Structure 1
Amino acid sequence: MKLNPFEKKLVQHPLRFWLQNHIEAPLLTSMMPKPHPDIRQALEIGCGFGNGIQLIRDHFGAEHVTAVDLDPEMIAAAKARWQESPHGLKQLDFTVADATSLPFADSQFDVVFNFAVFHHIPDWQAAIAEVARVLKPNGYFVVEDLYRAAICNPLSRKLFEHPQQNRFNHQEWLSGMRQAGFNILCDRNLFNLSGMVLAQKSLA
């Protein structure tokens, strides 16, 4: 499901990026094993206006980032933003894609990132299965997302457009990841409103 106009304004606000850069990304990187793994190929699902690409490069040290989004407007905006940056579009790819049917080969990426995107996906279980497919064995899935209580309430329904059926809480999210073949390495749950998870694809 695409973002509505209000949420598009919200996610591109400078305060949102400040929070991502100074609060969320350091918390996520603190969950990674030490020393940090070498990330040659990273995938961001739901790139929006391109904020996540900078986080993936600056905080996780990814060499090459592939960014996908369901909304062509978002892909165009992210691509334009990075085209105007000092680094340009070097080591970046942009693709319009559905998270439940990713146009990539099996075992292609070292790490996949979800920065609060899967609560927009009606069939989030299918999207997790796709992440498992495109990740290399022992690859990492870095997650932060919103849970049922945060999006299935009167205020959220008034401001945003989120799927209201087949939503998840923290334990249901962890269960879905385990069913897709992930081992949970670290997880944090904020009052079942949102959470962070680091998972690793099993070898089997």
Structure 2
Amino acid sequence: MKLNRFERMVVKHPMRHWVQSKIEQPLLLRLFDNNLPAFEQALEIGCGYGQGIQLLRNGFGAAKVVAVDLDEEMLAYSAERHAGADWLTLLQADATRLPFDDQQFDLVCDFAVFHHVPDWQAAVSEVFRVLKPGGAFVIEELYRAAICNPLSKRLFEHPQTNRFNHIELHQCLKLAGFDIRKSHHLPALAGLTLAIKPAQITLD
């Protein structure tokens, strides 16, 4: 689901970029306990106006970044913002049908996008598929109580069914095959999670 006009304004505002770089980025990096792996190929699902791309490149140190979004306007803005970046590939794509090979990426990031995806469980499965064994899935998400309330419904456009909380997100990650390495959350509202695709898949 694409953002409505008001949410576009919020996401594009310089204050949102400041919060992402000064507050959210350090919290996300600390999920790795100051032991950040070398990421050759990174994927951002839902690149918006390009701030996450900068985080993947400068914060996580990804050598190459692929960023996808459903919205042509956001892809065009990100392309202009990062013009000349030979390390960046931008594609229009659906989170539930990623146009990539199995085990292609070392890192996949969801910076508050899956709460816009009606079938977010399918998106989790797709992330597991495209991650290399040992790869990292970094998640920053808003939960059911944050988006399914009268104020949020008035200001934004989010799916109102099949939403999730911190526990339900982790249950889905584990069902897909992920190991939960570290997480933090504001009760009922939002959370950060680092999930790892096991280096070796064991069959019971």
TM-score, reference length from structure 1 = 0.96
Which residue matches 2:66? 66
Which residue matches 1:156? 152
How well do the aligned residues superpose, as a CA RMSD in angstroms? 0.8
Letter of the 2:3 counterpart: L
Which residue matches 2:137? 141
- Which aligned segments of 4 or more residues in structure 1 are displaced greater than 6 angstroms? none
| Identical residues among aligned pairs (%) | 57
Ranges in structure 2 where 5+ consecutive residues have no aligned partner: none
- Quote how far apart the aligned CAs of 1:89 are: 2.0
Letter of the 1:151 counterpart: I
* Residue pairs, 1:19-168, within 5 angstroms: 19-83=19-83, 88-168=84-164
Ranges in structure 1 where 5+ consecutive residues have no aligned partner: none
- Quote how far apart the aligned CAs of 1:34 are: 4.2
Letter of the 1:108 counterpart: Q
Please give the secondary structure, in 2, of the residue aligned with 1:158. Answer: helix
Deviations 1:33-57 (A, max 9, x none): 5431000100000000101011111
Deviations 1:87-109 (A, max 9, x none): x2220000000000000000000
TM-score, reference length from structure 2 = 0.96
- Quote how far apart the aligned CAs of 1:58 are: 1.4
> How far apart, CA to CA, are the structure 2 residues paired with 1:33 and 1:45?
24
Is residue 14 of structure 1 aligned with residue 14 of structure 2? yes
- Quote how far apart the aligned CAs of 1:74 are: 1.0
